[in-house]
Amino acid sequence: MKNIQNSPITKITFNGYNILIKRDDLLHEDFNGNKARKFHYFFDNEFPNITKVISYGSNQSNAMYSLSVLCKLKGWEYTYYTNHLPSFLKDSPTGNYKEALKNGMNLIIGDYDNSTFNINNSTLLINEGGAIQEASYGISILADEITQYIKENNLKDTKIFLPSGTGTTALFLQKYLDCEVLTCPCVGDEIYLEKQFLDLEVDKSLHPTILKTSKKFHFGKLYNENYKIWKELKEQINIEFDLLYDPIGWQTLLFYKDKYDLNNIIYIHQGGVKGNITMIERYKRKYD
């Protein structure tokens, strides 16, 4: 599990554009995507005093699940806080929530803040979504892989694109890459995303380029256009993407087709498809 690297880059044609996809969804069956990159540091290093990990966020978070894999492999106790759990999910667990429970996650439901967490020398507190400085370790490896591919294939003026939650992956990619990194906000707006960047890097000149989305999307809300482009991607290129972030990412990328050469883009597939089960059920009930 230490060698979670060297995911393939494949060329696809979508809506007439030839785009390269960095397939981080294929890193490992149980531990892949940007969360595997963010938490790689904890795999590659020993923490003899640590016995417990605490984190928090949404009830279908990719980070929630990935941390459950990490803790299971490390033999650490894992406690996760979320402020809401729908009754249907509690009665019939699915997706990331179900898999995290199977890995031994201890879930606490209710309001919380930093004073809620009982932190001591044997506890690791992981910020929501893996927005931590330690994430730079694994993302630097990802950047090295991209740099090597660009060099070996003699690509010029290549840009990297990925949608963002906390923006941690995009931020550290820009730190380690010479080419421009483009991203768009999927949780909140560009002001929220810029604040997330500043929490980890105060020098704005080191931040990736934020592309404003074509419309305001409320995180977790169902949009027919998101479902439509997700299905089109699956039909045209036979790749399943995450249903929360990637539809917004692809729509934003296509929205800027007149400003950026989409044939010169490497799109980062950040995994997260385990969380699709619940979203697909919701979309089918509403739109199919």
**Euclidean distance between CA atoms 281 and 286, whole angstroms:** 9
Q: In whole angstroms, what is the distance from residue 288 CA to residue 285 CA?
A: 6
CATH number of 9-27+134-287: 3.40.50.1100
d(CA 100, CA 63): 10
Is the model more confident about 5 or about 212? 212
Quick check: 217 pLDDT over 90?
Answer: yes
Task: Supply the pTM of this predicted model.
Answer: 0.93
Q: How confident is the prediction for the chain on average, in pLDDT?
A: 94
Residue 4 has pLDDT above 70, yes or no: no
Task: Give residue-wise pLDDT tens across range 271-280.
Answer: 989 889 888 9
| CATH code of the domain occupying 37-130 | 3.40.50.1100
Asked, colleague to colleague, whether 9-27+134-287 and 37-130 share their fold, the answer is yes
3-class secondary-structure state, position 22: strand
pLDDT tens column, 14-55: 999 999 999 999 988 778 899 999 999 998 999 999 999 999
CA 34 – CA 268 distance, rounded (Å): 9
Quick one: pLDDT at residue 5?
A: 65
Q: Are 53 and 71 in contact (CB under 8 A)?
A: yes
Angle at 54 between CA 52 and CA 57, to 5 degrees: 155
Packing angle of the helix pair 168-176, 135-152 (nearest 10 deg): 50
Closest CA to 255 of 236, 229, 280, 232: 229
Which one-letter amino acid corresponds to residue 219?
F
The pLDDT of residue 48: 94
Cα–Cα distance for residue pair 78/72, rounded to 1 Å: 8
pLDDT at 1 over 50: no
Instruction: List strand residue ranges (DSSP E) for 129-262, in order.
Output: 159-164, 181-185, 209-210
Give the model's pLDDT for residue 3.
59
Q: Where are the domains of the chain?
A: 9-27+134-287, 37-130
